[in-house]
Amino acid sequence: MHIHPTKYYSFRGVIVSVNTLYSDPYFSVFPNERIHPNTQRGLLNAYHCCGSETTPSAVIFCEANFTKTDGKTANGLIRYSPKFRILSVIDSEKAGLDSGYALDGEYNGIPIYATLTESIEMAREIPEYFIFGIAPSSGVLSTLDRQVILEAIDLGMNIVNGLHEYLNDDPEFIAASRKAGVVILDIRKPRAKRNLQIFSGIVNHVDCPKVVIMGTDCAIGKRTTATKLVSALRQYGLNVVLVATGQTGVIQGAPYSLVMDSIPAQFCPGELEAVIYRAYEVEKPDIIIIEGQGALSHPAFSTSSMIIRGSAPNAVILQHAPCRKYRVDFDEMAMPSVASEIELIELFAHAKVIGISINHEGMEEKEIDECIYHYSKEFAIPVTDALKRSSKFLVHMVLRAFPKLAKQIPILQ
Amino acid sequence: MHIHPTKYYSFRGVIVSVNTLYSDPYFSVFPNERIHPNTQRGLLNAYHCCGSETTPSAVIFCEANFTKTDGKTANGLIRYSPKFRILSVIDSEKAGLDSGYALDGEYNGIPIYATLTESIEMAREIPEYFIFGIAPSSGVLSTLDRQVILEAIDLGMNIVNGLHEYLNDDPEFIAASRKAGVVILDIRKPRAKRNLQIFSGIVNHVDCPKVVIMGTDCAIGKRTTATKLVSALRQYGLNVVLVATGQTGVIQGAPYSLVMDSIPAQFCPGELEAVIYRAYEVEKPDIIIIEGQGALSHPAFSTSSMIIRGSAPNAVILQHAPCRKYRVDFDEMAMPSVASEIELIELFAHAKVIGISINHEGMEEKEIDECIYHYSKEFAIPVTDALKRSSKFLVHMVLRAFPKLAKQIPILQ
């Protein structure tokens, strides 16, 4: 198959590029059905059709970084990846371990292998997708990274790339993918400039609650809390839309999503607004949950300011790690206090922080209880640990802030 | 001359693209000397050499928009354009008028013509540069716009384009510019992804005051106030760096500058920090003045949040238009109050608002006086009108906030 990486296709009157699907809510970013590599039509179907049962297989490359901060995308996908059947993780430093055990102490049956070759041999099939699961702090592919990706392409695997560096802009990768007839998905690549939208204010016409999950730092658990909350609210029968704003959420298949930090600043609020409004129109949700990024107070990662402007939230849930002293990757940057972050968020967003979810890193079970008690008293709002406590506490935060929602839940009447 | 629009050149070990020079502080964006169109070396010299006396000639295309909000770039260049000898403005609706008179009621001797042809005939020379001076709210070139730019290229003019749409990405413009041997400068185009920088905190090691000019809206006079302040401080003998953050400032030739709103959000604070730190190292300034964008409270244009994070300012001057009821282009969006904007800025920036500069649109002379008196009492800080009052009041704001600076000025001792 010869797919030109920058070729455009028309779908429902909208011109789309097969390698720039980060946020188009008309269809999910990832296929629900298997790609038939011999036909271009198969590829298009893969994006446009939903409901098929065959989940494509994938391996996640996370050399030297699985379970670590820079392996965030791989870690997230190992915990939750409804759009892919993950066959294995590649990380020579942890080869031989079960990935679930290595990550969270719970077996999941997905092994870690040392090399791509070993991974394919053991799977007895060539996985359909090779997911590059590292977010190197340099932001740039190493020579080894390039070699492995090219090897995967030569083997006929489609590539999922969440880096700021777009492989579809690189002549070597373009040539290799054409030759092998595979597709490279640059998850972070924004829509074409002509299609990017300026904020118009239409998000203010969404009349269901919009809740943003903010944090006091990056890599602190915002997405995990959002996922838990969404899942719990759905169990109560509510129609919930999750809007993902980072590359991991997009790869996990959130149908209404975009990668905020790679969009030119001018268009960030407008692009998010457009995704939220489309979700509102199409899904008629009872509530929309939006994933934040970094922290409003974080000098390096403050795309949350754009997320607040683009979503105009009615409420905020704050994720905090009480034992974290310095921001991740910034040894000289002290963590903000919960109180100062709440004050800043509430003034900036014109919305209340309705609950706190703590990240228990470095904490004993007893300390978690004490912390929940202490914060609840200090801030007079519900506090929980999204991973260690029942998700009902997260649901409680939301229903307490929006009592009308509770009336829509039969079991609570 | 055959200049490949995306060709890269090495300079002082840094790889630069001739069409992506928005923020590289090693050299100004615009040439101080004439480009010799027959040699590539001439082109490179044009970027790398400083101090030559010959200022290149230019016409500004601003059809149907000169003096209006969407003609902001043209308006700004007519008021101040040290890097270009502006021969005329093209706007058929105002043809026959003097551009200075049409804009500010003061003759400047630069005529407005109806067409490019007329403009060239009257100048008796083909200008070296064609500056596209409109910022259409659609953000996209019309068919007429395209025709005129192609006509200018065919005539051998280099193009200055400040739109988000990059002409160097458009096959028709690439072909035309190659054929004519001219250069298209896409002012908004960020550096190559590999060279974009994440915020590191190095800006906190700048030990001279950094003052950001913020506003309560866009198109309200931030750049004008910044320019007036810088010029006045220089008259007192201080070494001042102005960091421009919008396309007009870059076209005006601010040597330390970048166009913030077109940079992917992740890199905005880091790129600004890098420009500021470079200016600090190279120029050893007494003070750095940074142009803000939009307003911190503006849902559509809040790149100021990134500007604050990237510059870590020691103080802020706030620009406000007391008679403006709604934000420009947003009829349903009420202007914020000065008090609410100050509260938000001070909490977000951890810096004090040290003065207010008012934009007198819609105000009589007497009202300006009353407003200055009223705001001075309410906020207990100096207030002025940067255009209608002496620039000494702006200097006073800064010296009052940073008394040490006053000691460096012999005339004040």
ipTM, 2 dp: 0.84
Q: Which chain B residues are within 8 Å of A292, Cβ to Cβ? A: none
Report residue A411's pLDDT band, with 50, 70 and 90 as the boundaries: confident
Q: Is A200 on the interface with B (CB under 8 A)?
A: yes
CB contact under 8 A, B261 and A262: no
Instruction: Name the CATH architecture for the domain at A197-412.
Output: 3-Layer(aba) Sandwich (3.40)
For residue A239 the two structure tokens come to: 């129609």
Query: Which H or E run contains A290?
Result: strand A287-291
**Per-domain residue ranges of chain A:** 8-186, 197-412
Q: Judge whether residue B48 has pLDDT over 80.
A: no
Least trusted range by pLDDT, from A389-398, B130-139, B163-172, B196-205: B130-139
Q: Which chain A residues are within 8 Å of B302, Cβ to Cβ? A: 269, 305-306, 309
| A85-90: strand order across its sheet | A112-113, A85-90, A57-61, A129-132, A158-161, A184-186
Report residue A32's pLDDT band, with 50, 70 and 90 as the boundaries: very low
Q: Is B96 on the interface with A (CB under 8 A)?
A: no
What's the pLDDT at A18? 36
Q: Which residue has the higher pLDDT, A346 or B249?
A: A346
Q: Judge whether residue B25 has pLDDT over 50.
A: no
Name the minimum distance, in Å, from the CA of B23 to any CA of chain A.
16
Handedness of CA A106, A107, A108, A113 (dihedral sign): positive
Count the Cβ atoms, other than its own, within 10 Å of residue A64.
14
Average of per-residue pLDDT across B399-406:
96
pLDDT one-digit tens code per residue, B255-314? 899 999 999 999 999 999 999 999 999 999 999 999 999 999 999 998 999 999 999 999
What's the pLDDT at A39? 27
| Percent above pLDDT 70 for chain A | 86
Q: Judge whether residue A8 has pLDDT over 50.
A: no
| Percent above pLDDT 90 for chain B | 74
Report residue B413's pLDDT band, with 50, 70 and 90 as the boundaries: confident
Cα–Cα distance between B370 and B372 in angstroms, integer?
A: 6
Q: Which residue has the higher pLDDT, A342 or B29?
A: A342
Q: Which residue has the tokens 């001042």?
A: B240
What's the pLDDT at A50? 31
Name the minimum distance, in Å, from the CA of A82 to any CA of chain B.
27
Average of per-residue pLDDT across A144-156:
96
pLDDT one-digit tens code per residue, A111-126? 999 999 999 999 999 9
Report residue A267's pLDDT band, with 50, 70 and 90 as the boundaries: very high
Minimal Cβ distance to B164: which of A200, A266, A330: A266
Report residue A193's pLDDT band, with 50, 70 and 90 as the boundaries: confident
Average of per-residue pLDDT across B3-18:
34
Residue A78: what are its φ and ψ, rounded to 5°?
Answer: -65, -35
Burial class (CB in 10 A: 0-12, 13-18, 19+), A271: buried
What's the pLDDT at A380? 97
Domains A8-186 and A197-412 share a fold: yes
Instruction: Name the CATH architecture for the domain at B8-186.
Output: 3-Layer(aba) Sandwich (3.40)
> Do A357 and A197 touch, CB atoms closer than 8 A?
no
Q: Judge whether residue B17 has pLDDT over 50.
A: no
Q: Is B311 on the interface with A (CB under 8 A)?
A: no
Q: Judge whether residue B8 has pLDDT over 70.
A: no
Average pLDDT over all residues of chain A: 86
Q: Which chain A residues are within 8 Å of B193, Cβ to Cβ? A: 164-166
What's the pLDDT at A350? 97
Average of per-residue pLDDT across A397-404:
96
Average of per-residue pLDDT across A203-212:
97
Q: Which fold has domain B196-412?
A: Rossmann fold (3.40.50)
Three-state DSSP class for A331?
coil
Count the Cβ atoms, other than its own, within 10 Å of residue A26.
14
Q: Judge whether residue A54 has pLDDT over 90.
A: no
For residue A15 the two structure tokens come to: 């011109």
Report residue A137's pLDDT band, with 50, 70 and 90 as the boundaries: low
Cα–Cα distance between A307 and A290 in angstroms, integer?
A: 8
pLDDT one-digit tens code per residue, A72-93? 899 999 998 888 999 999 999 9
Cα–Cα distance between B184 and A153 in angstroms, integer?
A: 36
CB contact under 8 A, A201 and B332: yes
Q: Is A332 on the interface with B (CB under 8 A)?
A: yes
Name the minimum distance, in Å, from the CA of A349 to any CA of chain B.
9
Mutual orientation of helices A392-401 and A222-235 as an angle, nearest 10°?
80
Least trusted range by pLDDT, from A222-226, A274-278, B5-9: B5-9
Q: Is A218 on the interface with B (CB under 8 A)?
A: no
Which is nearest to A268 in space by CA: A297, A311, A298? A311
Beta bridge partners of A111: A98
Q: Which residue has the tokens 């059809």?
A: B63
Q: Which residue has the tokens 């939301």?
A: A398
What's the pLDDT at A136? 75
pLDDT one-digit tens code per residue, B85-134? 999 999 999 999 999 999 989 999 999 999 999 999 999 999 999 999 99
What's the pLDDT at B13? 33
Average of per-residue pLDDT across A21-49:
30
Q: H/E/C letters for each residue in chain B?
A: CCCCCCCEEEECCEEEECCCCCCCCCCCCCCCCCCCCCCHHHHHHHHHCCCCCCCCEEEEECCCCCCCHHHHHHHHHHHCCCCCEEEEEECCCCCCCEHHHHHHCCCCCCEEECCHHHHHHHHCCCCCEEEECCCCCCCCCCHHHHHHHHHHHHCCCEEEECCCCCHHHCHHHHHHHHHHCCCEEECCCCCCHHHCCCCCCHHHHCCCCEEEEEECCCCCCHHHHHHHHHHHHHHCCCCEEEEECCHHHHHCCCCEECCHHHCEHHHHHHHHHHHHHHHHHHHCCCEEEEECCCCCCCCCCCCHHHHHHHHCCCEEEEEECCCCCECCCCCCCECCCHHHHHHHHHHHHCCEEEEEEECCCCCCHHHHHHHHHHHHHHHCCCEECCCCCCCHHHHHHHHHHCHHHHHCCHHHC
| B352-358: strand order across its sheet | B256-257, B240-244, B287-291, B210-215, B315-320, B352-358, B383-384
Q: Judge whether residue A166 has pLDDT over 80.
A: yes
Closest residue in chain A to residue B309, using alpha carbons only: A299
> Do A131 and A99 touch, CB atoms closer than 8 A?
no
Q: What is the DSSP string of A354-404?
A: EEEEE--TT--HHHHHHHHHHHHHHH-S-EE-TTTS-THHHHHHHHHH-HH
Query: In angstroms, what CA-CA distances link A164 with A5, A261, B8?
Result: 17, 9, 20
Pairing label, strands A14-17, B352-358? unpaired
What's the pLDDT at B1? 29
Report residue B3's pLDDT band, with 50, 70 and 90 as the boundaries: very low
Least trusted range by pLDDT, from A244-258, B82-96, B308-322: A244-258
Count the Cβ atoms, other than its own, within 10 Å of residue B32.
19
Q: Which residue has the higher pLDDT, A408 or A150?
A: A150
Least trusted range by pLDDT, from A155-169, A198-212, A335-349, B352-366: A155-169
Closest residue in chain A to residue B164, using alpha carbons only: A193
Q: Which residue has the higher pLDDT, B33 or A199?
A: A199
Q: Is B2 on the interface with A (CB under 8 A)?
A: no
What's the pLDDT at B46? 29
What's the pLDDT at A84? 93
Closest residue in chain A to residue B343, using alpha carbons only: A347
Minimal Cβ distance to B201: which of A140, A305, A330: A330
Cα–Cα distance between A152 and A90 in angstroms, integer?
A: 12
Beta bridge partners of A334: A326
